Amino acid sequence: MIIIMLGAQGTGKGTVAGLISEATGIPQISTGDIFRKNISEKTELGIEADKYISKGELVPDDITVPMVDDRLSWDDAKEGAILDGFPRTIEQAKKLDEILTKKGKKVDLVINLVTPRDEIIDRMLTRRVCTNPDCKATYNIKLHPPIKEGICDKCGSPLKQREDDKNADAIKKRLEIYEEKTSPLIDFYKNKGVLRTEEISISINRMGTDVAKDIVNDIKK
């Protein structure tokens, strides 16, 4: 089953994807995580990608698309994948369709997460990530804090704020790019009949854990 996570930054895509992955065994493939791992390991791909990421810009398709294509060919993705952070443009969505068609697959479900704007900014500022590139668990110091302050529950490594979450200009830029380039994907997938929109907000007391639970129940039906 191929699942795509859609939604602006800070809506909780990574958290929801992680929970669905844990419950179903379908691997979570996060392009942002793959880039950050490469940046921390100073690989050629990481050095190139960081030029764009540090400014809040999208990494060009000639880097991103082959990276995803390759990752989808790994053994663990034979039965499916939860794509988190890809596609982000109509172009990428079309390329994804080509990649999947070659593998005899298609996009089965697109989970579109929606959160009010003021909550989004707040969440990006309070987000913390595990510094262990093989763990990369995400926390929120207000909504979903680790048991021990500054330490990852899962692996014990220190937590830190993402570089692009510290930079207010980069945050603004990412949200603008989301509106302009990524939000058209909502209609793209609605037209294919695979879109499922879920609101996550404190105002309706519905958080990522609630959404993940409902989706997992439906998948397992």
- Catalytic residue, chosen from 36, 71, 95, 174, is 174
Contact 82, 29 (CB under 8 A): yes
Contact track, ligand ADP, 121-160, x by CB under 6 A: ----------------------------------------
**SS3 labels along 188-220:** HHHHCCCEEEEECEHHHCECHHHHHHHHHHHHH
Ramachandran angles phi, psi of 86, nearest 5°: -150, 135
Nearer to ligand ADP, 86 or 139 (CB): 86
Considering only 35, 139, 188, 189, the residue that binds ligand ADP (CB under 6 A) is 35
Q: What is the CA radius of gyration of the chain?
A: 16
Considering only 137, 171, 211, 215, the residue that binds Zn ion (CB under 5 A) is 137
- Say which entry of ligand ADP, Zn ion, none residue 80 contacts (CB below 5 to 8 A, set by partner kind): none
Considering only 59, 110, 113, 129, the residue that binds ligand ADP (CB under 6 A) is 59
Q: Identify whether 117 is a catalytic site residue.
A: no
- Catalytic residue, chosen from 37, 162, 181, 206, is 162
Cα–Cα distance for residue pair 52/73, rounded to 1 Å: 26
Minimum separation from the CB atom of position 131 to Zn ion (A): 8
Q: Identify whether 162 is a catalytic site residue.
A: yes
Q: How many residues lie near Zn ion (CB under 5 A)?
A: 8
Binding status of residue 86 toward ligand ADP by CB under 6 A:
yes
Contact 176, 83 (CB under 8 A): no
Nearer to ligand ADP, 26 or 165 (CB): 165
Considering only 26, 53, 77, 82, the residue that binds ligand ADP (CB under 6 A) is 53
Binding status of residue 182 toward ligand ADP by CB under 6 A:
no
**Strands of the sheet with 2-7, listed across from one edge:** 28-30, 81-84, 2-7, 107-114, 195-199
Ramachandran angles phi, psi of 132, nearest 5°: -80, 110
Contact 128, 138 (CB under 8 A): yes
Count of alpha carbons within 13 angstroms of residue 4, beta-carbon side = 28
Which residues contribute to the site for ligand ADP (CB under 6 A)?
9, 31-32, 35, 52-53, 56-59, 64, 85-86, 88, 92, 164, 174
Question: Which residues have a catalytic role annotated?
Answer: 13, 88, 127, 162, 174
